[in-house]
Amino acid sequence: MRTGSSDRTTGDGRTAPDRTRPKGKIRSTLLPLSRALALFLLCLFITILNPNFLKPTNLINILRQATPQIIVALGMTIVLLTGGIDLSVGSTMTFASVVAGYFLTQVSGLPWQAAAAAGLAAGAAVGLMNGLMIAKIKLPAPIATYGMLWIGRGLSFALMGTTPFYGFADGFRKYGRGYWLGLPLPIWIMLAVAALMIFLLTWTVFGRRVYAVGSNADAARASGIRSDKVLILVYVLSGLMAALAGLLLTARMNAVDQDIGEPYLLPALASPVMGGTSMSGGEGSVGGSIIGSLLMVVLLNGMNLLNISSLWQQLALGIVMLLAVWLDVSLKRRAET
Amino acid sequence: MNHRWARRSLIVVCVVALALLLAPASLAAQAKAGKKLTIALVTKALNNPFWGMMKDGAEKVAAENGVEFIYLAPTKANNLEEQTRLMEDLIQRKVDGIVLVPVDSDGIVPVIKRANNAGIPVALANTNANGGQAVTFSAIENYDAMIMVAEYMAGKLKGQGKVIILEGTAGAQTTTDRLRAINDVLKKYPGINVLASQTADNQRAKGLQVMENLAQTYSAIDAVLCTNDEMALGAVEALDAAHRLGKIMVSGFDANNDALKAVMDGRMVVTMDQNPQKQAGDAVQALLDYINGKKVPKRIVTPGVVVTKENIALYESRIKK
């Protein structure tokens, strides 16, 4: 039952390799649980020190703060699954927000929906450029997307300069601060994006091709998969998700500044890896990336609640990240031998 | 034959003598009139509009004096390593003078010394450095200015209440001075209780996030004192979204355009106009005076103005709509 072709995926989106694995079942159930356990232990630790952590309002607060990071990280996850990397996500967040902010504040008479659409289109366009450079011109993904990082920054400065756009239409701001059924709108959007990603990766032909291209590009090509098409679509998705994350953050802050996206690049890369996504492709899951993101945001929230000084905050963040990946790697090795 | 040789050598000697006599004079003339001077301004970041205002002020004075002007700032906000590199590039380019706003008062000292060794005069603006030779230091007195803001807040609180402090980038002299001022004022009011003092790195997004988190722990907050406007505006958004802004007073520092609007709309209580245009402009002027051999004061104090609802009308032109 656990054997099969390389493009078959298990429930959590992990591939089942060709060889028979007697302990495969243990591995596939234990690993996601171990990550959830790490998150649970962290939450327990903070709660003991400050019970305010467990207040429903704080838990909602954490989820809302994690929303942009989770959305970018999910875009990054799908890129990592193909064996690629997208270093332009932070700058794409900024660029898309600046484009939306420009149409929201500098062009009069335009509905906010059009401005938001322009922002998303800008993100998709950046992704398309990345995809074309990587799939067609065959540039290495780190270089192509690093180049786009600077192009996105340059365009953002050209469009906005150093004075932030601020004061947006209420219809737009609602998506940063509004509620629906007791939960903030950004959380609903994040959940919808996550559900869509799980569906895409687990139930569609495209999803199976993403894993196939990532686990063995040559085999995928031999079996007739047009890997260039898959790659282009993957980078467009990543650009689109970065744009969406940027717009949600912009709506929340009611302002765009040049620094809005850049701090998200490394967390967006670290979250999937902390959640068990392989940087060499073919292995990873949506749930893992969400837990990876939550680990970081929960830790920062906890340190604010405990009034820990900023110097120690960075140190703690580094240690927890390394511990999470170490736990993951050592459990994986134990399950495989 | 002999006669011709003597005449020739006389001409050569005359030409050489003339050249030797004229050379220093002509070089000096070239420096004064022929070749345009080049002055650079290096700030802490590109993203904060405050540095944009400093650039405007410096650019204006440079243009008035017919001086070439270069503006540089780290692409990663408040990054010492990148600022050091920018300074090294300027030293390589042999610019005629640099107005510098150090990211880190200690960390920047080595590269100021390198500029000194290369004979390039450096004027400091806004933030001081703890070493090296500077022509002048042009800035508001951060400590005194924040004393005014903090006293205003203490007055608004009537000496009673629970406050949160949002600190700027750790290690920067402006953060240290402003924070010391806040703490010195609050010490005089035993009725004011500091709930938490956390950093938000001078950034709006961090101000938003840290305030969201702190608002979870503290159900009763009377005021939030921030060491710059960007963090204050982030805190305002966090409190507004939680419907608590009406009960909590927020103070900033810098008088950025959207902070002025927030003061006008009653979303922020007070900010400090530290006239960045004048800070940078005075530094450029001092640098030019120094190059032209005039005497320059070691410290130029820019007067700061407390901006509240009472005098916000003075800033109307900078607030949109």
- Going along chain A from its start, the domains and CATH numbers come out as 24-336 (1.10.3470)
Tokens of A260: 């809005």
CA dist B196 and A165 (Å) reads 30
Q: Are A163 and A156 in contact (CB under 8 A)?
A: no
CA dist B313 and A121 (Å) reads 40
DSSP state of B75: S
Average pLDDT over residues A240-267: 93
Query: Please, what sign has the CA dihedral across residues A23, A29, A35, A41?
Result: negative
Instruction: Specify the pTM.
Output: 0.77
Partner-chain contact A253 B170, CB within 8 Å: no
CA dist B118 and B37 (Å) reads 16
- The residues facing A15 across adjacent strands are A9
Q: What is the pLDDT of residue B9?
A: 65
**Are B129 and B44 in the same domain?**
yes
Number of domains in chain B: 2
Closest partner residue to B212 among A61, A163, A255, by Cβ? A61
Has residue A19 got a pLDDT over 60? no
Provide, as residue numbers in chain B, all residues whose Cβ is less than 8 Å from the Cβ of A52. 216-217
> How close B256 comes to chain A (CA, Å)?
9
Q: What is the pLDDT of residue A317?
A: 84
Has residue A6 got a pLDDT over 70? no
CA dist B53 and B276 (Å) reads 6
> How close A180 comes to chain B (CA, Å)?
14
Q: Chain B residue with minimal CA distance to A156?
A: B47
Q: Chain A residue with minimal CA distance to B77?
A: A259
* Confidence band of A312 (pLDDT split at 50, 70, 90): confident
**Are B233 and B257 in the same domain?**
yes
B228 touches chain A (CB under 8 A): no
Between helix A56-81 and helix B204-217 the angle, nearest 10°, is 140
For B272, list phi and psi in degrees, rounded to 5. Answer: -120, 120
- Does any domain span residue B282? yes
Provide, as residue numbers in chain B, all residues whose Cβ is less than 8 Å from the Cβ of A177. 241
**Are B212 and B194 in the same domain?**
yes
**Are B148 and B199 in the same domain?**
yes
Query: Please, what sign has the CA dihedral across residues A178, A181, A187, A193?
Result: negative
Provide, as residue numbers in chain B, all residues whose Cβ is less than 8 Å from the Cβ of A159. none
- The residues facing B144 across adjacent strands are none
Q: Are B223 and B248 in contact (CB under 8 A)?
A: yes
- Does any domain span residue B221? yes
A143-148 contact pairs (CB < 8 A, 24+): A145/A85, A145/A86, A145/A87, A145/A88, A145/A235, A146/A87, A146/A88, A148/A87, A148/A88, A148/A91, A148/A92
Average pLDDT over residues A12-36: 55
pLDDT tens track for A208-222 = 999 999 988 888 888
Partner-chain contact A253 B208, CB within 8 Å: yes
Tokens of B303: 């007067």
Interface of B with A in 47-86 (CB under 8 A): 47-49, 51-52, 55, 75-77
**Are B269 and B151 in the same domain?**
yes
Q: Are B320 and B261 in contact (CB under 8 A)?
A: yes
Q: Chain B residue with minimal CA distance to A301?
A: B213
pLDDT tens track for B103-119 = 988 999 999 999 999 99
**Are B66 and B184 in the same domain?**
no
Q: What is the pLDDT of residue B15?
A: 58
Q: What is the pLDDT of residue B20?
A: 56
- The residues facing B193 across adjacent strands are B162
CA dist A300 and B210 (Å) reads 9
Per residue, the 3-state secondary structure of A211-226, as one string, reads: HHHHHCHHHHHHCCCC
Q: Mean pLDDT of all residues in chain B? A: 89
Provide, as residue numbers in chain B, all residues whose Cβ is less than 8 Å from the Cβ of A178. none
Closest partner residue to B196 among A55, A163, A307, by Cβ? A307
Partner-chain contact A305 B217, CB within 8 Å: yes
- Residue-range definition of the domain harbouring residue B236: 142-273
**Are B166 and B263 in the same domain?**
yes
Q: What is the pLDDT of residue B6?
A: 65
**Are B103 and B59 in the same domain?**
yes
CA dist A200 and B15 (Å) reads 86
Partner-chain contact A161 B52, CB within 8 Å: yes
**Are B120 and B180 in the same domain?**
no
Residue type, B270: V
CATH number at residue B195: 3.40.50.2300
Provide, as residue numbers in chain B, all residues whose Cβ is less than 8 Å from the Cβ of A255. 204, 233, 237, 258
Q: Mean pLDDT of all residues in chain A? A: 87
Say which residue, B132 or A280, is predicted with more confidence: B132
Is residue A126 exposed (0-12), middle (13-18) or buried (19+ Cβ within 10 Å)? Answer: buried
Residue A306, CA distances (Å) to A80, A291, B92, B217 in order: 35, 22, 47, 9
- The residues facing B70 across adjacent strands are B40
**Are B199 and B283 in the same domain?**
no
**Are B77 and B120 in the same domain?**
yes
**Are B115 and B148 in the same domain?**
no
- Does any domain span residue B311? no
Q: Chain A residue with minimal CA distance to B199?
A: A310
Residue type, B94: K
Q: What is the pLDDT of residue A110?
A: 92
pLDDT beneath 70: ranges in chain B: 1-34, 320-321
At which residue do the structure tokens 């609180």 appear? Answer: B157
Provide, as residue numbers in chain A, all residues whose Cβ is less than 8 Å from the Cβ of B45. 259
DSSP, collapsed to helix, strand or coil, labels residue A58 as helix
CA dist B167 and B200 (Å) reads 6
* Chain A residues interacting with chain B (CB cutoff of 8 angstroms): 50, 52-53, 55, 57-58, 61, 64-65, 153, 157, 161-164, 166-167, 177, 249, 252-255, 257-260, 262-263, 300-301, 304-305, 307, 309-311
Q: Chain A residue with minimal CA distance to B257?
A: A163
- Does any domain span residue B126? yes
- Does any domain span residue B13? no
